[in-house]
Amino acid sequence: MDRLFQNHRIRARQSLEGLWEFGKMRALSTDGLAESIDYDYKLAVPGCWEMHPQLLTYRGQGIYRRSIYIDNTAHVRLLFKGVSHTAKVYWDGQQVAEHYNAYTAFDTTIMNVEPGAHELCVEVDNSFGQHSALHLPNDYYTYGGMIRPVIIEILPLQSCSIQWVQFTPIKEDWTTDEEGNWQANVRIALQSHADHDIKGHIQFELSPLQQSTLWKQQLPEITLKAGQYLEFTHTFTFSNIQSWSCEHPYLYEWQTLWYQHQSNTLELVDDWVERVGFRTINTYEGKLLLNHQPIVLKGFNRHEDHPMVGASFPIALMVQDLELMIHTGANAVRTSHYPNDERFLDLCDEYGILVWEENHARGLSIEDMRHPQFIEQCEQVNREMVTQHYNHPSIIIWAILNECASDQEEGRVHYQRQLEQIRSLDHSRPLSFASHHRENEICFDLADIVSFNLYPGWYGDEDPGELCDLARQWADQAGGKGKPMIMSEFGADGFYGYRSPNRVKGTEERQADIIESNLRAYNERAFISGMFIWQFCDCRVTEEGIWPMMRARTQNNKGIVDGYRRPKLAYEVVTRYFK
Ligand code: ADA
């Protein structure tokens, strides 16, 4: 399934995991689905097509197809958690959805579906070109396929469905509030699918995991007009709450229930279950505060990439990554450079691993940012990232535009616009972006946390401590004074198995030395609120562009474990510093 808990108990839903037919397309169809496609392959969904022995490097378009049987007339909601990178969805030959970007979910509801067999086709495109501002040849791989789970939901005809629920824990005053007293601001959206007025009410319930209900409240009855969409907000107060922290990642279930009047009875028609945690995150006098206490983030940049599965992770491999990170003593992960599979975020909630989640962009120059689709495609990924992942207590920072043109006035306009957009969607989390512009950075005043990607010892010979002190000065002079500072990337290449007493660049020894000198420097500095090693695991890079010439083995080799998660020498070093 798509989550690690049952996020609907009432709504009928099923995973569309399995073997789908697949055919390569010769050209993109412009007016509907290509008729003449040969379905030569069978591919796993979820999965990347690069896992098929004949599609190892395929870049282009293809169509996935399967049939779906519907028992009774109903509205059918299809939820795609991630299609890489562009999808067009066809139901019985009619296009019902289109979506750009591999790393955020989208859905579509097909109304009044008749009983019987139906054909579902998804046209998928992972090509680079004018249609794509964010997926382009890069220092990570853009896989092809339906890389994350696909779900079908059956919505009753004359009813309403809960569209989303946003739960914001609040503790106004940590010094005077009783420990277990919390508030939460809850926003929800309802969509009527009925062709006449319907009446009902919402009920909320809060329960510690696997335990009986701690608190519930029923809202007054409401009437929804035919097809009406309604959003509303409430604030609630709770007592006897255990807060969420890294040491005690205490989770609660927040259930939203829709009870509807149906011919003189009240029926439970729809539900939406979220797992929430009570914690606060904010910045104060140069520190990052989790539950009012200063915290230093220690962790890794992680690409969702594995030689066995590409970007399409089963949970066993996600758990393996988290166990390895936790074993080093890490308490944080940065989802470089895109929103992650929600099951990974569910795991972080459960393990108490803090997450810096960022939108999808890496190393875009000002020319790249002038792409005609750039504004719109970024706006969409920001909105989808924040609204879809809003309830994860583990996410404590939203970030944007890794190493883009934040050193230029023209670039600044985009940073400002995007940070304002995210703030308007969520004012409960601090914002940042990772910069490599050193003294030329001009956007630190716009963010809540200043973050530097510097590679002392690798790309340059500077001393990490001296460079870090200099970076603090650059930040202070560029509008970052009084803001927490994070070393968002540092590291070095280390080719797995390449060991030599001469410790030259590329050996595991040299990688370990460089990472050690960085960690030592950052641990000694009280103004550092976080350090993220580049990177957790080696990852594949694109064959297009400059990357194969820059990256031996067409891989970014800076992982402290290799692609297969075999620890390099640096792993032990990190463990000494993080523990
Ligand atoms: C950058 C970038 C990473 C990666 C890294 C490297 O800072 O943000 O995606 O490319 O450098 O390995 O050089």
Q: pLDDT tens digits, residue range 244-263? A: 999 999 999 999 999 999 88
Q: How confident is the model at residue 26 (pLDDT cuts 50, 70, 90)?
A: confident
DSSP state of 477: I
544 with 137: CB under 8 angstroms? Answer: yes
Using CA atoms, how far apart are residues 429 and 288, in angstroms rounded to an integer?
A: 11
Q: How many C-alpha atoms does 243 have within 13 Å on its Cβ side? A: 21
pLDDT in tens, 261-309: 988 899 999 999 999 999 999 999 999 999 999 999 999 999 999 999 9
Residue ranges of domains in the chain: 12-155, 160-276, 302-578
Please give the distance, rounded to the nearest whole angstrom, from the Cα atom of residue 536 to the centre of ligand 1: 12
Residue by residue, DSSP assigns 309-368 as TBT---HHHHHHHHHHHHHHT--EEE-TTSPPPHHHHHHHHHHT-EEEEE-S-BS--HHH
Please give the distance, rounded to the nearest whole angstrom, from the Cα atom of residue 403 to the centre of ligand 1: 8
The ligand 1 atom at the shortest distance from the C-alpha of residue 436 is: 7
ipTM: 0.99
Does the CB atom of residue 205 touch ligand 1 within 6 A? Answer: no
20 with 43: CB under 8 angstroms? Answer: yes
Does the domain made of 160-276 have the CATH classification 1.20.1260.10? no
Residue located via tokens 């198995």: 497
Using CA atoms, how far apart are residues 522 and 464, in angstroms rounded to an integer?
A: 8
Phi, psi (rounded to 5 degrees) for 230: -135, 135
Please give the distance, rounded to the nearest whole angstrom, from the Cα atom of residue 348 to the centre of ligand 1: 24
Give me the pLDDT at residue 177, please. 76
Q: Is the pLDDT of residue 151 over 70?
A: yes
Pocket test for ligand 1, best of 404, 453, 546 (most atoms within 8 A of CB): 453
Does the CB atom of residue 534 touch ligand 1 within 6 A? Answer: yes
CATH fold of the domain at 302-578: TIM Barrel (3.20.20)
Pocket test for ligand 1, best of 537, 556, 557, 558 (most atoms within 8 A of CB): 556
Give me the pLDDT at residue 179, please. 84
Please give the distance, rounded to the nearest whole angstrom, from the Cα atom of residue 447 to the centre of ligand 1: 21
Does the CB atom of residue 139 touch ligand 1 within 6 A? Answer: yes
Please give the distance, rounded to the nearest whole angstrom, from the Cα atom of residue 58 to the centre of ligand 1: 25
Domains 160-276 and 302-578 share a fold: no
Q: Is the pLDDT of residue 58 over 70?
A: yes
Please give the distance, rounded to the nearest whole angstrom, from the Cα atom of residue 514 to the centre of ligand 1: 16
Pocket test for ligand 1, best of 433, 489, 490, 553 (most atoms within 8 A of CB): 489
Give me the pLDDT at residue 513, please. 98
Segment 315-320 shows an average pLDDT of 98
Closest CA to 427 of 406, 448, 408: 448
Q: How confident is the model at residue 176 (pLDDT cuts 50, 70, 90)?
A: confident
Using CA atoms, how far apart are residues 457 and 470, in angstroms rounded to an integer?
A: 15
Give me the pLDDT at residue 178, please. 80
Domain 12-155, CATH class in plain words: mainly beta
Does the CB atom of residue 302 touch ligand 1 within 6 A? Answer: no
Does the CB atom of residue 436 touch ligand 1 within 6 A? Answer: yes
Please give the distance, rounded to the nearest whole angstrom, from the Cα atom of residue 386 to the centre of ligand 1: 24
Segment 431-447 shows an average pLDDT of 98
Segment 93-111 shows an average pLDDT of 98
pLDDT in tens, 207-237: 999 899 999 999 999 999 999 999 999 999 9
Does the CB atom of residue 403 touch ligand 1 within 6 A? Answer: yes
Please give the distance, rounded to the nearest whole angstrom, from the Cα atom of residue 436 to the centre of ligand 1: 10
Residue located via tokens 């197809």: 65
Please give the distance, rounded to the nearest whole angstrom, from the Cα atom of residue 434 to the centre of ligand 1: 11
The ligand 1 atom at the shortest distance from the C-alpha of residue 558 is: 12
Please give the distance, rounded to the nearest whole angstrom, from the Cα atom of residue 453 to the centre of ligand 1: 8
